[in-house]
């Protein structure tokens, strides 16, 4: 379990440091080229979904998404603890830890950023702990995204995608952690996932049979 916690806290720390640096030093939509035209730091904010995709700006939409994320993290923590108590390799635990870390990273944004930061604009950077309070209440903060990889643009003659950027989403370290963790589990531990799902299904079936008796 210690290794898993180290992974979780390390990813969260890197994620939050990157977001603080962007939030406090860049204006909204400011772009800093890093590697030619293929990798940029482009500051945007969204209301909670991954890779720059948004949900409704309503208070209830954010609360529902926040509650769903928290519930998912709790369930994953329970699974992580149960698996840690068993004699299994660290591989599956590593993948689950990455997913938990990514989810927590974005949960922190939604929970607290509206309370501790002033609003970012196209002309002014945000201020940490501004006089008069932040730009929103608890669970109403926006998620900070900044990683942008517009690798290439499709030629105009390509059907459906002509003139469009190959990879247009803008995301953060937390999003990356969730994606990498998920792909890692599927590619390298797919059998383990299927076995775990089967075990859970069998236990539920046994419990249902006992109730019916």
Average confidence (pLDDT) over 166-190: 92
When pLDDT is cut at 50, 70 and 90, the band that residue 130 belongs to is very high
Within-domain flag for 205: no
Residue 122 has pLDDT above 70, yes or no: yes
Within-domain flag for 122: yes
Within-domain flag for 207: no
Asked if 109 is an active-site residue, the reply is: no
Identified catalytic residue from 85, 87, 109, 145: 145
Q: What is the pLDDT of residue 174?
A: 97
Asked if 87 is an active-site residue, the reply is: no
Q: What is the pLDDT of residue 191?
A: 79
Within-domain flag for 158: no
Tell me which of 10-24, 123-137, 160-174 is least confident: 160-174
Residue 207 has pLDDT above 70, yes or no: no
Give alpha helix (H) positions in 34-158.
Answer: 59-84, 90-108, 114-116
Q: What is the pLDDT of residue 59?
A: 73
When pLDDT is cut at 50, 70 and 90, the band that residue 158 belongs to is confident
Average confidence (pLDDT) over 117-132: 96
Q: What is the pLDDT of residue 143?
A: 94
Residue 203 has pLDDT above 80, yes or no: no
Identified catalytic residue from 15, 87, 109, 175: 175
Q: What is the pLDDT of residue 89?
A: 87
CA distance 161 to 128: 41
**What is the extent of the structural domain holding 126?**
2-150+163-200
- Average pLDDT over all residues of the chain: 88
Q: How many independent structural domains does the chain possess?
A: 1
- Collapse the DSSP code of 21 into the 3-class scheme (helix H, G, I; strand E, B; otherwise coil) and give the result: helix
The pTM score is 0.84
Within-domain flag for 180: yes
Q: Which two tokens stand for residue 199?
A: 């075990």
CA distance 134 to 178: 28
Q: What is the pLDDT of residue 64?
A: 82
Which CB contacts under 8 angstroms, 24+ apart, belong to 109-112?
109/19, 109/141, 109/142, 109/143, 109/144, 110/48, 110/62, 110/65, 110/66, 110/69, 110/139, 110/140, 110/141, 110/142, 110/143, 111/66, 111/138, 111/139, 111/141, 112/138, 112/141
Pick the residue with more confidence: 205 or 159? 159
Within-domain flag for 73: yes
């Amino acid at each position: 379990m210690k290794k898993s916690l180290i992974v979780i806290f390390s990813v969260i720390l890197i994620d939050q440091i990157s977001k603080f640096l962007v939030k406090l030093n860049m204006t909204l939509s400011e772009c800093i080229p890093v590697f030619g035209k293929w990798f940029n730091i482009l500051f945007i904010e969204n209301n909670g979904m991954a890779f720059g995709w948004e949900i409704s700006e309503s208070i209830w939409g954010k609360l529902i998404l926040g509650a769903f994320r928290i519930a998912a993290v709790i369930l994953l923590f329970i699974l992580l603890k149960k698996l840690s108590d068993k004699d299994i390799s660290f591989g599956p635990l590593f993948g689950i830890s990455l997913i938990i870390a990514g989810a927590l990273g974005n949960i922190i944004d939604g929970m607290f950023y509206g309370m501790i930061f002033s609003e970012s604009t196209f002309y002014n950077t945000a201020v940490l702990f501004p006089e008069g309070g932040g730009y929103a209440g608890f669970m109403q903060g926006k998620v900070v995204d900044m990683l942008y990889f517009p690798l290439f643009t499709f030629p105009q003659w390509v059907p459906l995608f002509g003139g469009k950027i190959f990879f247009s989403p803008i995301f953060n370290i937390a999003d990356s952690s969730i994606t990498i963790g998920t792909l890692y589990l599927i590619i390298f531990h797919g059998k383990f996932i299927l076995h775990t799902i089967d075990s859970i299904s069998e236990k539920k079936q046994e419990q249902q049979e006992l109730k019916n008796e």
